[in-house]
Structure 1
Amino acid sequence: MIKFALIGCGRISKNHIEAIEKYQNRARIVAVCDTILQRAESAAERTGAVSYTSYEELLKREDLDAVILSTPSGLHPKQGIMAAEKGLHVVSEKPMATSLKMADALIDVCDQNRVKLFVVKQNRLNSTLQLLKRAVDKDRFGRIYMACVNVFWTRPQEYYDQAKWRGTWEFDGGAFLNQASHYVDMMEWLLGPVESVMAYTATMARRIETEDTGVAALRFRNGALGNMNVTMLTHPKNYEGSITILGEKGTVKIGGIAVNKIEHWEFEEYDDDDKLIQTTDYLPPNVYGFGHTGYYQNVLDVLENGEEPNTDGREGRKSLEIILAIYKSAREGKSIPLPLD
């Protein structure tokens, strides 16, 4: 029985709770922690765990195997390092950090203490994206010319006002680093390493430090071009989360509110996967989808059977570096090569 501690009982924590509930014979949340007592107690009531408001006190327990970090992004490295130094495995929500320096520090400490570091990238497990990934891996597109991503969502001012850390550079990041980080990861996962980026960002309507809107152009090492259009100002609600890939021998668009619907699927040559496109669409309860359940399947397989993590710290670092290059380009008004210095 793998025993987890859940750190941070806010918006995304319920996805972790629901996912682990699916594996009751393999895993259990035995401790929860939040600086807001009411939230900690509410999570404890649902999970049967012991509640804490002090992370340091929670780490004194001797029955833990791993911690789940669903706290503000800027806290992930420090909290992950503290857990790793106690010999605990670390499951970090995206992004794993708000700077490469702290991301690397977390990776290094986990390596030194021989514990596993998992970074949650649950969108990779969406049935629609799994089908698209297979098409890419089978080279069904031939040469890929272009990939286009739209994230047209809304986050009202009340969302940012719910917590002081939201919309700050130190703890959160903006639309690219927070809401669209899974889509940056998706681009790199499907098309490979990025050679350079050029971007513009703006804070048009929300009273926050970071951007609520941005556009980015990406050149991939394989020669493909990509673009991302991201905003949290869509009226009146989340409208679209999509990716379109245009290749020599195929065209695919996966859209819907969160890449949950195959809107176009056409290739030069037939493959049996083409039979699946009518049954692959799903209706997510929110933009997070159902991927956390599948994600924990891999986490448990790694911790129980020694398998390799699908998305470890080094994999999680890739999208962080691209986003930080986007921010650097927007600040400096020029194309930024990768890797970053």
Structure 2
Amino acid sequence: MTSFAVVGCGHIAKKHIQAINNIDNAKVEALCDVNEERIKEFSHLCDAKGYQSLSELFRAHPRIDVVNICTPSGLHKDLTIQAAEAGKHIIVEKPIALTLTDANEMIEACKQNNVKLAVVHPNRFRPAVIELTKAFSKGLFGKISHANSTVRWNRNQEYYDQAAWRGTKAMDGGVLMNQAIHNLDLLLWFMGPIEEIKAYTTTRLRNIESEDVGVAIIKFANGALGVVEAATTIYPENYEESLSIFGETGSAVLSGKTANWIKHFQFQQLDTETSKQVVDKIDKDPYGTPGHQMIIQDMIESIKENRDPIVSGEQGREALKLVLAICQAAEEDNSVNWDSIN
């Protein structure tokens, strides 16, 4: 039995608890939140005791295997280091942190204490993304010309006003850090190393510290180009999340309100009927096993097999670096070299 502690009893913690409940031989043993009332709100989801500090939790449950950190992003570093020093493996919500310095310290603490660190980028496990991964592994795209990463969503002022930390630079970040980072993780994962970035960001409609709109142009190391568009200003609700990749011998577009559907899938090496079968298969089951469940299951397996999690701390750091590079390029109103971001 793998035992878990969930830290931070907010909205996203419910996904973690439900995912753990759906996995055989996994159990939520403890909850942690500074607000005792929040802990009580989660009591119906699992048979777990609640604590208001990690140190108290670890004293009461010394055999906890994995700590799931679901707090505001600005708190990730200290909690990760505390858990690592207690010898616990860690699953941390996205983004891994809000600065590369914090991310580096988290990764180093886990290495020093010989524990595993996974970052929650669950979109990698979507059925449509898995099909895209297969196409890449078979070289079906040929030479890539360009790619587009688009997140056109709505987060109204009421959303940001629900908690004082939302939209702040110290605890949360803006649309790029909070909403678009999953799509950006996929863009970076498929398109490979980056050479240069140009960008603009602005806060147009929401009363927050961080950006609610961001656009960027990316030059990848292989010479391909990328376009990023992210916004939480779309009226009146979420409109689209998409990832489009175009190559010499193939092209694919994942889209919908979330990028769970294949809207275009054509390759020189695939006949029309085969492509249609792939699209139809995804239409029948666009969600598959929930991504959080896959991340947690992978952590259990990585412990047993003594390997790195599929989405490691280092990979979470790269997605964070892309967000920070876009923001820096916008702030400096100048192109930013990827290697200069550290």
Does structure 1 residue 26 correspond to structure 2 residue 25? yes
Would the aligned equivalents of 1:131 and 1:273 in 2 still touch at CA under 8 Å? no
What is the deviation of 1:42?
2.1
TM-score by length of 2: 0.95
Structure 2 letter corresponding to 1:313:
G
C-alpha distance in structure 1 between counterparts of 2:278 and 2:18, whole Å = 27
SS in structure 1 of the partner of residue 11 of structure 2: coil
Equivalent residue number for residue 161 of structure 1: 161
Equivalent residue number for residue 174 of structure 1: 174
What is the deviation of 1:210?
0.2
The unaligned stretches of length 5 or more in structure 2 are none
C-alpha distance in structure 1 between counterparts of 2:286 and 2:305, whole Å = 33
C-alpha distance in structure 1 between counterparts of 2:53 and 2:294, whole Å = 30
Structure 1 letter corresponding to 2:210:
T
The unaligned stretches of length 5 or more in structure 1 are none
* Identity across matched positions, percent: 40
Would the aligned equivalents of 2:263 and 2:279 in 1 still touch at CA under 8 Å? no
Deviation by residue 1:270-305 (Cα, 9 ceiling, x = unmatched): 1796332211134559xxx92112222211101223
Equivalent residue number for residue 38 of structure 1: 37
What is the deviation of 1:258?
1.1
Equivalent residue number for residue 130 of structure 1: 130
Query: For the structure 1 residues 57 and 204, does the alpha-carbon distance in structure 2 shift closer, same or farther, using more than 3 Å as the test?
Result: same
Equivalent residue number for residue 148 of structure 2: 148
Find 1:280's aligned residue among 279, 282, 295: 282
Does structure 1 residue 226 correspond to structure 2 residue 226? yes
Would the aligned equivalents of 1:17 and 1:47 in 2 still touch at CA under 8 Å? yes
Equivalent residue number for residue 202 of structure 2: 202
Would the aligned equivalents of 2:302 and 2:309 in 1 still touch at CA under 8 Å? yes
After the TM superposition, which of the residue ranges 166-175 and 262-271 deviates more from structure 2?
Answer: 262-271
Equivalent residue number for residue 119 of structure 1: 119
C-alpha distance in structure 2 between counterparts of 1:139 and 1:283, whole Å = 24
SS in structure 2 of the partner of residue 164 of structure 1: coil
C-alpha distance in structure 1 between counterparts of 2:63 and 2:295, whole Å = 23
Query: CA RMSD of the aligned region, Å?
Result: 1.6
Would the aligned equivalents of 1:69 and 1:91 in 2 still touch at CA under 8 Å? yes
SS in structure 2 of the partner of residue 176 of structure 1: helix
What is the deviation of 1:54?
2.4
What is the deviation of 1:52?
1.7
C-alpha distance in structure 1 between counterparts of 2:249 and 2:37, whole Å = 55
C-alpha distance in structure 2 between counterparts of 1:301 and 1:292, whole Å = 14
TM-score by length of 1: 0.95
Matches within 5 A, 1:241-280: 241-270=241-270, 274=275, 275-280=277-282
What is the deviation of 1:35?
2.2
Equivalent residue number for residue 47 of structure 1: 46
Matches within 5 A, 1:50-69: 50-60=49-59, 61-69=61-69
What is the deviation of 1:226?
0.4
Structure 2 letter corresponding to 1:160:
Y
